[in-house]
């Protein structure tokens, strides 16, 4: 490990502050490091491994496609790409899907769609995109501009122009922005993930959707982290009874392979034409075959189970010693701890549980099908660690 660590430090770009652990194998919600130490995985590679590590169903779907053809380019038809797009549209009531490889790319596509729609409908001066303070939408220069957290912006100016951030929950601020800017689109997360696992207020989201409808502004919901069953609905917006014009998703839909989707509703289904957008790997048949297997399993029974597991986590942690509050939705949980979050995550790792942080909180994003006994074991360890004073 120390050799690997020094090779990694020397040759991999210095953008990630890794834990001193090498994950070498796993099954479902259990992973092992290079010394054979066992961990319960409460992070799933940041909401990516929807059904855990080396899941049999996903693995079979991926390897079957891999043995047929791994890539064709978008010059040709492939079955997994077309089938996945049909499934996504049927499950959401939306009309078309653009496939990319990541959450940032899905959001880039959504932003391009909203700007083209507004330019054609109202004029090219209608380019402003409103996003929320404390949001996170990606690391490309445009999605950084969309991200409502200044510290991500500082060293990378100038970012793509035309982005305005308003405070979450403040509909008056949004009305004012729409009055004073020529707005093409509104982009938001129903539950802010990187921002600290904070769910939006339902009345606020309904007001936002109503305003977007009234002003013919494209409403884009970023479901990169919240999507694909994570919050107890297929997509988190479904918990709020709103109808977006564009839904973006990535992470969990690929189940461990890179896939990003911009799902386009009726209003914008025909906005993109030949040559307007593209991606060499977008809609890759192996990634899409895996995604079909993931989506097929996110049915009502699974979503009910996600909610049950969520209730268990909330009720176990809510009044536990050393825990100030628990936030989030479904299996996307933020824990405000008395001890610093990074210290809790480190102590949990020592005790055999992998957790994440989100700002000052401990964040949990377990597999949607984490077995109850493993979930209980992990929660007991987290509780014990939070209760310990140092």
Summarize as ranges the residues that interact with ligand PLP (CB under 6 A).
102-104, 107, 136-138, 189, 193-194, 222, 224-225, 250
Min separation Cβ 247 and ligand PLP, Å: 12
Chain residue at closest Cβ approach to ligand PLP: 103
Q: Cβ 260 to ligand PLP, closest distance in Å?
A: 6
Least distance in Å: CB of 225 to ligand PLP? 4
| Closer Cβ to ligand PLP, 138 or 256, answer by number | 138
Cis peptide before 158 (omega within 30 of 0): yes
Cβ at position 222, least distance to ligand PLP in Å: 5
CB nearer ligand PLP, residue 261 or residue 379: 261
Nearer to ligand PLP, 175 or 204 (CB): 204
* Token representation of residue 322: 């050393």
Would you state the structure tokens that stand for residue 273, as one six-digit string?
């034409």
**SS3 assignment for the chain:** CHHHHHHHHHHCCCCCCCCCCCEEEEEECEEEECCCCEEEECCHHHHCCCCCECCHHHHHHHHHHHCCCCCCCCCCCCHHHHHHHHHHHHHHCCCEEEEECCHHHHHHHHHHHHHHHHHHHCCCCCCEEEEEECCCCCCCHHHHHHCECHHHCHHHCCCCCCEEEECCCCHHHHHHHHHHCCEEEEEECCEECCCCCEECCHHHHHHHHHHHHHHCCEEEEECCCCCCCCCCCCCHHHHCCCCCCEEEECHHHCECECCEEEEECHHHCCCCCCCCCCCCCCCCHHHHHHHHHHHHHCCHHHHHHHHHHHHHHHHHHCCCCCEEEEEEECCEEEEEECCCHHHHHHHHHHCCEECEEECCEEEECCCCCCCHHHHHHHHHHHHHHHHCCC
Residue 13 CB, nearest approach to ligand PLP (Å): 15
By C-beta, is 33 or 108 nearer to ligand PLP? 108
Place of tokens 């060499």: 280
Give the nearest distance from C-beta 2 to ligand PLP in angstroms: 29
Nearer to ligand PLP, 29 or 101 (CB): 101
CB of 205 to ligand PLP, least distance (A): 15
Comparing CB distances to ligand PLP, the nearer of 107 and 369 is: 107
As measured in angstroms, the least distance from the Cβ of 255 to ligand PLP is 14
Nearer to ligand PLP, 100 or 265 (CB): 100
Q: Residue 52 Cβ, how far from ligand PLP at the closest point, in Å?
A: 19
341 vs 381, beta carbon nearer ligand PLP? 341
Is the CB of 248 or the CB of 379 nearer to ligand PLP?
248
Longest dimension (CA), the chain: 61
């Amino acid at each position: 490990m120390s050799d690997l660590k020094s090779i990694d430090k020397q040759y991999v770009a210095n953008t990630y502050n890794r834990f001193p652990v090498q994950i070498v194998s796993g099954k479902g919600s259990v992973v092992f490091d290079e010394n054979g130490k066992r961990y319960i995985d409460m992070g799933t590679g940041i909401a990516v491994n929807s059904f855990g590590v080396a899941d049999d169903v996903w693995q079979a779907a991926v390897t079957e496609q891999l043995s047929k053809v791994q890539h064709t380019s978008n010059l040709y038809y492939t079955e997994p790409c077309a089938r996945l797009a049909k499934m996504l549209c049927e499950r959401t009531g939306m009309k078309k899907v653009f496939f990319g490889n990541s959450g940032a790319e899905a959001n880039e596509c959504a932003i391009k769609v909203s700007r083209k729609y507004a330019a054609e409908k109202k004029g090219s001066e209608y380019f402003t995109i409103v996003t929320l303070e404390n949001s996170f939408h990606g690391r490309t220069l445009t999605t950084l501009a969309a991200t409502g957290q200044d510290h991500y912006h500082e060293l990378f100016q100038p970012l793509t122009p035309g982005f305005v951030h308003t405070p979450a929950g403040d509909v008056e601020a949004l009305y004012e922005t729409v009055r004073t800017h020529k707005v093409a689109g509104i982009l938001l997360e129903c539950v802010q993930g990187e921002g600290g696992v904070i769910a939006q207020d339902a009345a606020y989201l309904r007001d936002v959707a109503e305003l977007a409808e009234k002003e013919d502004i494209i409403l884009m919901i970023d479901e990169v982290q919240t999507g694909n069953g994570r919050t107890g609905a297929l997509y988190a917006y479904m918990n709020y009874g709103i109808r977006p014009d564009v839904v973006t998703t990535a992470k969990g839909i690929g189940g461990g392979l890179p896939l990003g989707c911009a799902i386009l509703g009726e209003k914008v289904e025909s906005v993109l034409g030949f040559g307007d957008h593209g991606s060499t790997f977008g809609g890759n048949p192996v990634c899409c075959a895996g995604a079909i297997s993931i989506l097929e399993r996110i049915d009502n029974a699974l979503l009910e189970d996600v909610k049950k597991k969520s209730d268990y986590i909330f009720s176990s942690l809510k009044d536990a010693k050393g825990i100030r509050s628990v936030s989030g939705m479904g299996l996307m949980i933020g824990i405000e701890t008395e001890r610093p979050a990074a210290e809790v995550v480190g102590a949990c790792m020592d005790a055999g549980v992998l957790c994440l942080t989100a700002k000052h909180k401990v964040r949990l994003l377990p597999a949607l099908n984490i077995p109850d006994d493993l979930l209980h074991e992990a929660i007991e360890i987290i509780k014990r660690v939070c209760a310990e004073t140092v």
